[in-house]
Amino acid sequence: MWSKKRSPTIATAGAASIAAITLLAACSSGGGSSSSSSSTTAAASASASASSSASASGSPSILAGGNCSSSATQLTFWAWVPGMSRAVTEFNATHPSICVTLEDPGAGESEYTPLNNALKAGTGAPDVAELEFDVLPGYEIQHQLVNLVPYGANNYKSDFAAWAWAQVSQGSGVYAMPSDFGPMGFYYDQQTLAKYHLTPPATWAQFAADAVKLHGENPKAYLINFPANDPQWLMDMMAQAGAWPFKYTGGASLTINWTGPAQEKFAAFWQQLINAHAVAAITDLSTEMNTDLDTGVLGAAIYSAWAPSYFAPDVKHSVGQWRAAALPQWTAGAGVGSDWGGSTYPVFSQSKHPAQAAEFSEWLTASSQSWSIVKTPPSSLFPTYLPTLQSSSFKSLTYPISGTSQPNQVFSAGALSIPLTTWPPFMTQVLNQGMSTFGGVVTGKETLAQAFATFQQQEVSYAKSQGFNVSE
C-alpha cells in the first residue's frame, strides 16, 4: 500500500554532497548528461563539496544476485526498499544475459553519502540506485546521470502519472525512471471524528471551522498536527494551494518565492489556526504523533499514501478505524491533489553498461511483472505506473489499519491531479535550513509569515553564493 520517505531527521554533520552544489559557471539548460547524450553541451560543469570524512559504514549488504554467471553483464544496484530482492531475483531469472547484484547501503543519507563520495572519486558508484524525486536535480546539474531517451525511456511516458514523469524529465532528456510516490489525502479516525460530529472536510474553510470546533470541545485534542518544521511536508501543502516557492528547469537560473501573495495567503490561513491553538505542533512521523493519533488526541492527519505505514506499527487502540478521504480544497470542487515523497531509479554516468542498466531500470518501474511483486509487502510501493495504479486489484486492496475500507481508491484518484512542481538542485540544504528556520513557528517564537520572509532571504543568499541567477 505504502511508499516511503527518508527519515525526517536529515540534518547530519556529513550531509550529502548535494547539500552545497557550487555552480562554477553557467550550466547548460539541459539536465544531467552522459557520453550517450547528445542533447547537452555545458559551458562549464557543476561540482559538489563532499565531506572528506563521510564514508559508508562498512560494506553494504548483498541481498540478491551474489552468484552471478560469469558470462552475464554484471550490474550493481543500490536500494533500501524492503523486499526489493524479490524483484531483482525475478529480473535475473528472466534476463539471463544480465545479472543485477542488489546492495542496501541504508535509507536516504546512508546511501547518498557513499554514493556522492564514489561519484566525486570517479569510481565505485553503482550502475543504478534509488534516488528520491527531490534530490534528483542535484545529480542532474552535476551531469552524473545518463539520459535514458536513447535507451527507449520515452516509450513508457504514457504509462506514468504526469507529475511523476515531469519530475524525471528535463528539456528533451529523461534522467531516471519514476517508481513510487505519495499522493496526499485526509487520513482520519472515523470514531474520533464521529465523537465530535464531524465528517471529512471538503474545503479548507470547513477544515478550519472543524479544527476550531474540535479543540473548543476538548482542549486536549486537535484535528491534525501542523509540523511547520518539516519543510518537505510544508512545501507539498503549499503546492496544493498554488503557492509552490521554487521554479527550476535546469541550468544556472531559478526562481525563489516564499513571500508572494499566494505564499502570504497560505501562511495567514495556518497562522490563524496556530494562534487559536486549533492545531498541534509536534514532530512529524514521531512516536509522540503516532501515539496521539492512536489515542484520539489527534483525529486525523494530512498524510501521503505511504505515511500510515509509519503509523501502523504503533496502533494499539484504533486498528480498523482509519479511513482515507480526498484533500480539502481551497476552491470547492477543484479536486487538486499533492504529493509527498517517492523514488526514482537513474543510471549513473560511471556505469560501463548503460544500455543494460537502463533495461533493468525500465523493467523495474514499467513492467507488470515487477509491480506484481513490489506492490506487495514488505515493499508495498504506491505506483506511479498507471497500469497498476489504475487497476481494480490495486485500488481494492484492504489493510488491517483501515478495516474493510479501500484507501487506495482515494489515493489513486488523488494521484492524477497533482500540480507540476520543480525542485531546486540543492534540496538537502533547503530541508536542513528549513528545519532550523521553521522551528520558531513550532515553538511560537515567530509567525509562519515571518519564517517565510527569513527563509526567502536565506535561500536567495545561498543560491547566489552557489553561482545561481535568482529571480524573486
Give tens-digit pLDDT for 285-299: 888 999 999 999 999
Is residue 248 within 8 Å of 422, Cβ to Cβ? Answer: yes
Q: Which of 89, 103, 93, 84 lies closest to 180, judged by CA?
A: 84
Q: Is the dihedral of CA 432, 434, 439, 442 positive or negative?
A: negative
Label the pairing between strands 21-23 and 177-189: unpaired
Q: How many residues does the chain have?
A: 472
What stretch of H or E contains 261? helix 261-275
pLDDT given for residue 58 in this prediction = 52
pLDDT given for residue 42 in this prediction = 25
DSSP string, 378-434: TT-PPB-BHHHHT-HHHHT---GGGTT--HHHHHHHHTTSPPP----TTHHHHHHHH
Backbone angles phi, psi at 148, to 5 degrees: -85, -5
Kindly list the distances between the CA atom of residue 143 and the CA atoms of 35, 42, 252, 386, 470, in Å, as whole numbers in the listed order. Answer: 10, 9, 13, 29, 21
Domains of the chain: 182-339+421-471 (3.40.190.10)
Q: What is the pLDDT of residues 82-112, one digit of tens each?
A: 999 999 999 999 999 999 999 999 988 899 9
Is residue 193 within 8 Å of 200, Cβ to Cβ? Answer: yes
Q: Which residues, listed in sequence order, are joined to residue 180 by a DSSP beta bridge?
A: 383
For cell 542498466, what's the residue? 357
Tens of each residue's pLDDT in the chain, 472 residues: 444 444 433 333 333 334 434 443 334 333 333 333 222 222 222 223 323 333 334 566 778 877 777 899 999 999 999 999 999 999 999 999 999 999 999 988 899 999 999 999 999 999 999 999 999 999 999 999 999 999 999 999 999 999 999 999 999 999 999 999 999 999 999 999 999 999 999 999 999 999 999 999 999 999 999 999 899 999 999 999 999 999 999 999 999 999 999 999 999 999 999 999 999 998 888 889 999 999 999 999 999 998 777 788 889 999 999 999 999 999 999 999 999 999 999 999 999 999 999 999 999 999 999 999 999 888 989 999 999 999 999 999 998 999 999 999 999 999 999 999 999 999 999 999 999 999 999 889 999 999 999 999 999 999 999 999 999 9
For cell 503557492, what's the residue? 243
Its pTM stands at 0.86
